Structure 1
Amino acid sequence: MKQIAVLFLLFAVLLISGCGGPKAPEDRFSSYINAWKTGNFEDMYTYFTEETKQQMNKQDFIERYEKLNNDLELSVKDIVIPGDQDIQKDNEQTVRLPFAVDMDSAAGNISFEKEAVMKLEETEDGEEWFIDWDPSYFLPELEEGDKVRIQTLEGERGRIFDRNGSSLAVNGTAVQIGATAGEMDDAGKKQLAGVLGLSIEEINEQLAQSWVQDGYFVPLKTVASGEDALVQKATAIPGATTSSKAVRVYPYGPSAAHLTGYVGEINAEELKGNKGYKEGDQIGKRGLEQLFEKELKEKDGVQIFIEKEKEEPVIIAKTEPKNGKDMQVTINAELQKLMYAKMGGEAGTASAVNPKTGEVLAALSSPSFDPNEFSRGISGERYTQLQDDPLQPLLNRFAAAYSPGSTIKPITAAAAIRAGKLDPASGKEIAGLQWQKDSSWGNYYVTRVSESTAPVTLESALVASDNIYFAMAALDTGAEQMKKGLESFGFGEEFPFTYPLRASQLSNSGEFDSEILLADTGYGQGEVLTSMTHLAAAYGTFLNEGNMMKPILLLHEKPSVWKKDLVTNEQAAIIRKGLRGVVENGTAKAANVEGMAISGKTGTAEIKSEQGTTGKENGLFVAYDANEPDFVIALLVEDAAGQGGSKAAVNKVSDFFVEWKNY
């Protein structure tokens, strides 16, 4: 009986073990897929046949395919394997299992279908199915010996054009002058340093970088493509050579630098605040380049391809590059260039605005800098020179607000007339050169330049630039109505311009909390501040049926009224007559040139720390040609006391109009 029991038990064990067998091939392949999806290349390797493992060791497989997975930014979305009916059985030991792969990559979607060969092999635990590995299971058409490449397809940054299609910022090339590592001796380095304005230490520092090997080109300085003489002189030195470099080019250079701004390599702080950028990318640093960065920014494409030894490369994924959007602004680059030239390098700013449309035709700051230096890569020494320059060429003056001086007087008059507190034809009796409302002002007086023998009217007050008249007008109007009047011209609120300019202010507090402050504001002193663009736009009111247009920077933006019905046509005509009189008989006689009817208002704004002291003087002139009032210019010269205050501005504007007429 015992023998029968033992035999029965042995038969049961054999029966049970015989029922186990290997897993189905699709189940084994599913486990392999799970390892693939999670990037576990070590586990993937365990599913390979012995023959595969003999041809490629584990470490080589893991290193190669982990690197490919990371470099190509592969992410498996789905791998579909069929049911039993789709598995092809070659024999008892070999099956073919079709599968379909769908994954993301740095170059977009990669989808392919393949047929995996699986073989049944003996293991310590019995038979199991293993994958007869082929590189094409990982990427389509990949074979042993092939190289997988990833290539950036560069998009182009959007260009910036002026209203006439002239280039303000475009994509071009520059020349990199450098040295071939290992081919330049100390004498050559000394000679090249002198040509490029570098030190020998700077050259040695570049040549000593970790990536440099003998025979490598090491860039030392980037220069404009037109600097042929410098390039020839440098490359005549043994070991010196050149390379082309894509750069942003600014054809109008310093004349439009503060407007266009420039691009430069993104820094760590900018990387934190800007998604979609990587180290080494270019980004707008100032001006229009920064303002329109989102629109101008290109998007590079990427392609992944397989490089074969004797065949054409096989592209397996590709994302096309997308160029940035071209921008066209209202600026007339030639007008801006000429106006900048007339500044003669003196500190100041100017703006020109079309009174009928609000289009800003010029916005400049002087002195300036060459934005091409920045786009090519400015040296630390050169940047320090610009920073330390007492004229502050890096300061954007057209974005700033200044005391308008007497150029505010037509606006004061308009506010007083609108409030019903000033009759343009009725004269004010004013005696002497100094005036104060009453003794409560103490030792403070409003001073004018010349006396009058007859009652002062609005027209004569504009011609003579009578401070006392406009101080009286402001006081007669009263703080509340004067504030309301200036606010109707946009003072005290955000200036609605695409390019951010400092808002014009009524006073530091926004109120007229003393009679002296109110009186001073009436003739453009006090604490009132405005940008030249706002000032030019405000004068457009007198040329546009009493309406001030919203300032426009983008060419295809539809013109619209910002402030409506500020003066009547009759009132505007009176002010225009006075502005013409300023040039014919008043403080701007130098602008009374033949063939034009230049009209405008001068201003001298004294900048001082406190009343009773002497400070610097800024000279201003706001003007237009009444015969062809296509634009109003507002120009300011800083620290112009030595040039007669406003006379410096008048001369520059006058010269501009004469030359522009024949441009």
Structure 2
Amino acid sequence: MKRFFITFALFLALILAGCSEDKVTPHDRLDDYFKLWEEQSFSSMYDMLTEEAKQAYHTDQYIDRYEKIYQDLHITEIQLHYEKLSDEKIKQALEEGTATIPFSASLTSMAGPIEFDYEVTLKQAGEEEEKNWFIDWNPGFIFPEIKDGGEIRISTTEPKRGDILDRNRLPLALNGIVYEVGIVPGQLGDNPEASKKKLASLLNISVASIDNALNESWVQPDLFVPIGKKVQESDQALLDQLWQMDGVMTQQTTGRIYPLGKAAAHVVGYVRKITAEELEEKDPERYTENDMIGSTGLERRFEDELKGEKGVKIYVTEDEKEVATLAMKPVEDGKNIQTTLDITVQEELFNSLDDAPGTAAAIHPKTGETLALVSSPSFDPNKLVYGISQSDWEALQDNPEQPLFNRFNATYAPGSVIKPVTAAIGLQNGTIKPEEELEIKGLSWGKGESWGNYEVTRVSEANPVDLMKAMALSDNIYFAMKGVEMGGDQLVKGLEQFGFGEQLPINFPISTSTISTSGTLDDEVLVANTSYGQGEVEASVLHLATMYTSFLNNGNMIKPILLMEEEPNQVWKEGLLSPEQATIVQETLRNVVTDGTAGYAKNASFPISGKTGTAELKLTLDEENGEQNGWFVGYPTEDQDIIIAMMMEKVQDLGASGLVVQKVTDVLEAIKE
């Protein structure tokens, strides 16, 4: 009998155990709740609350509040963990209809990780067959610090934008003192309309824009009202006039300053207020609708580094007093960008162009350091940052000389400054032999009807002509003959070895130099014209300066760099010609000055070498007269510490390339005094 009772008891225990396994446990419900929480499914989470919790916290205090807090704090990567209750405690919970389970929470926020420990109480409810567990929720589940009240606050600290510096750490762009102009409406005096007109005239803005600011709903007679205009500290004359006006005040703040103004506007760029389209693409934790962003130039290229990271603090207040910090990310100021540019070279080159349309680049031929990138005419970036008038903006846009256009980023027909490159290609592939003399008679040459009676022309008559004489006199016919002799495929191959059709390897957007619209030279006339820099060939001014480095480095072309942190002396293209051949090209470039087309450079106090070029901008091959762009690429023959490439537009009545030789020579003298 005793054995019977033991067996029956075991049987009953198994039945009860089986029944308990069918029931929903607190663990099951908590797993479901935590899964929804990690997915931020707040509506579904609310359905799992006890009736008491729902009575105490309506949907706006739960769903809406959760969503707003998590959105405002950019909460992601929610991870929730708990230790399961023992079998004994589960049994007790089933009997009592309540269970309390400690848990830990880990969240990622805009200010960094937030971690906390809390406990959840689950209660059973419902009819016997449909009993389930529900969460007895309170605001401590959001953050324990607000369980009994309190408000979550966010404070941000704006990073200081990094400076842009030249090679000597002199500023190209920095954060300086500026003054925000505003009005105290109640102090405008007896004739407010006259005061507004005078102020509008001084600031080059409209009276309507002033009225718009003064008509904002928050404006009071005794409050300072900004009118959307800032004035640099250096503009002392304007500030003095503003400070003498009744009701006009300024508040000191910081803003972007560009010390070189027009001289470096295209390379440095400027900042402006971020657009709605840009804001959608940017990280919302880094940018708001009131932020400034790099618009052009270095300001745009290195926006991520210059911007920095905002400092963010998430904290809790009670009665306007801070009682707890939930997370804090310290501010990270933007990184300073030190370039290889040289302010002296930049200004000298820009000023030498005297607002005429043109461009120039300077590079150290041994290190590859870019010393200057110039585009003329230009604009004052300071005006664009602090509010240019509509009329002034339209004047910039409508100016036929295109001051907003970045010429050093563009490509142009190089004219005869490409001839040393053609010579290098010919020397390397054996087409050109320095001592070989060509019989060239007259001022024109062609192949008759097979060329459609088209003829290549030259300026100076000489016969016979070798490489040295051809370079000195810039003989188009000599180079056309040699181009045709080597053939289009060989010329294309050589130009590609010099980087044509390839992105210039520099940390700045520069248009790619091109051989032709198709990338090939399958027409003999096109081959002839390309060999001396006409046809369809185009190059950027920096690429041209870079190509000449191969003549000064035993046939190796140096990689151009723009940042001081980059490794100098890197070879971009190796073995373009032998050291002996490079020396030959150097000798021809010196001869261009001593006995050729760059005679003005003989006036310098030190020897200069280089090559002139005149690119004719003709719409058709048979057009007689067109506009001309003048070129000169030059360097100090002995020091070889700088190469300057310069192009000036529309020089046909100004001395053509001779004018450019003069400009480059004078700049070299100025910077090497």
CA shift for structure 1 position 497: 2.7
CA shift for structure 1 position 589: 1.4
Aligned residues: 628
SS of residue paired to 1:471: helix
* CA distance, structure 1, for counterparts of residue 186 and residue 80 of structure 2: 52
1:261-302 per-residue CA deviation (whole Å, 9 max, x = no partner) reads 222222233234444454423332222222233333322121
**Cα separation, partners in 2 of 1:470 and 1:449, compared to 1, 3 Å:** same
CA shift for structure 1 position 377: 4.3
Where does structure 1 lack aligned partners over 5 or more consecutive residues? 1-23, 87-91, 120-128
Alignment partner of 1:269 is 2:280? no
Q: Is the 8 A contact 2:183 2:249 kept in 1?
A: yes
Equivalent residue for 2:168?
A: 164
Backbone CA RMSD of aligned residues: 4.0
User: 2:180 pairs with 176, 184, 205, which one?
Assistant: 176
* CA distance, structure 1, for counterparts of residue 319 and residue 194 of structure 2: 44
Equivalent residue for 2:596?
A: 586
CA shift for structure 1 position 629: 0.6
* CA distance, structure 2, for counterparts of residue 113 and residue 562 of structure 1: 58
User: 2:492 pairs with 475, 483, 490, which one?
Assistant: 483
Q: How does 1:92-107 map to 2 (within 5 A)?
A: 102-107=106-111
* CA distance, structure 2, for counterparts of residue 643 and residue 633 of structure 1: 20
Where does structure 2 lack aligned partners over 5 or more consecutive residues? 1-24, 90-95, 124-132
User: 1:597 pairs with 607, 611, 623, which one?
Assistant: 607
Alignment partner of 1:528 is 2:537? yes
User: 2:204 pairs with 197, 202, 205, which one?
Assistant: 197
Q: Give, as a single letter, the amino acid of the residue that structure 2 aligns with 1:500.
A: P
**Cα separation, partners in 2 of 1:102 and 1:213, compared to 1, 3 Å:** farther
TM-score (norm 1): 0.83
CA shift for structure 1 position 605: 0.7
Equivalent residue for 1:498?
A: 507
Q: How does 1:115-126 map to 2 (within 5 A)?
A: none
SS of residue paired to 2:115: strand
**Cα separation, partners in 2 of 1:438 and 1:246, compared to 1, 3 Å:** same
SS of residue paired to 1:352: strand
Q: Give, as a single letter, the amino acid of the residue that structure 1 aligns with 2:656.
A: G
CA shift for structure 1 position 201: 1.3
* CA distance, structure 2, for counterparts of residue 404 and residue 330 of structure 1: 25
The range that moved more, 402-411 or 329-338, is 329-338
The range that moved more, 493-502 or 188-197, is 493-502
Alignment partner of 1:236 is 2:244? yes
**Cα separation, partners in 2 of 1:146 and 1:615, compared to 1, 3 Å:** same
CA shift for structure 1 position 536: 0.9
TM-score (norm 2): 0.82
* CA distance, structure 2, for counterparts of residue 487 and residue 34 of structure 1: 59
Q: How does 1:22-421 map to 2 (within 5 A)?
A: 39=42, 71-73=72-74, 77-78=79-80, 102-113=106-117, 139-142=143-146, 148-181=152-185, 183-184=187-188, 185-209=192-216, 212=219, 214=221, 215-276=223-284, 278-280=287-289, 281-307=291-317, 314-421=324-431
* CA distance, structure 1, for counterparts of residue 477 and residue 428 of structure 2: 20
Equivalent residue for 1:19?
A: none
1:330-352 per-residue CA deviation (whole Å, 9 max, x = no partner) reads 22232112211111111111111
SS of residue paired to 2:603: coil
Equivalent residue for 1:617?
A: 628
* CA distance, structure 2, for counterparts of residue 207 and residue 79 of structure 1: 55
CA shift for structure 1 position 163: 2.3
Q: Give, as a single letter, the amino acid of the residue that structure 1 aligns with 2:172.
A: L
SS of residue paired to 2:211: helix
* CA distance, structure 2, for counterparts of residue 35 and residue 561 of structure 1: 58
CA shift for structure 1 position 657: 1.0
* CA distance, structure 1, for counterparts of residue 35 and residue 495 of structure 2: 72
Q: Is the 8 A contact 1:48 1:130 kept in 2?
A: no
* CA distance, structure 2, for counterparts of residue 546 and residue 35 of structure 1: 67
* CA distance, structure 2, for counterparts of residue 330 and residue 435 of structure 1: 46
CA shift for structure 1 position 548: 1.1
Q: Is the 8 A contact 1:260 1:288 kept in 2?
A: yes
* CA distance, structure 2, for counterparts of residue 422 and residue 130 of structure 1: 92
Q: How does 1:441-590 map to 2 (within 5 A)?
A: 441-452=451-462, 454-555=463-564, 556-590=566-600
**Cα separation, partners in 2 of 1:59 and 1:426, compared to 1, 3 Å:** closer
Q: Is the 8 A contact 1:35 1:43 kept in 2?
A: no
* CA distance, structure 1, for counterparts of residue 552 and residue 302 of structure 2: 32
* CA distance, structure 2, for counterparts of residue 561 and residue 225 of structure 1: 45
**Cα separation, partners in 2 of 1:333 and 1:48, compared to 1, 3 Å:** farther
**Cα separation, partners in 2 of 1:594 and 1:35, compared to 1, 3 Å:** closer
User: 1:638 pairs with 649, 653, 664, which one?
Assistant: 649
**Cα separation, partners in 2 of 1:57 and 1:464, compared to 1, 3 Å:** closer
CA shift for structure 1 position 396: 0.8
Percent sequence identity is 43
* CA distance, structure 2, for counterparts of residue 118 and residue 182 of structure 1: 62
The range that moved more, 606-615 or 370-379, is 370-379
* CA distance, structure 2, for counterparts of residue 255 and residue 74 of structure 1: 46
The range that moved more, 360-369 or 108-117, is 108-117
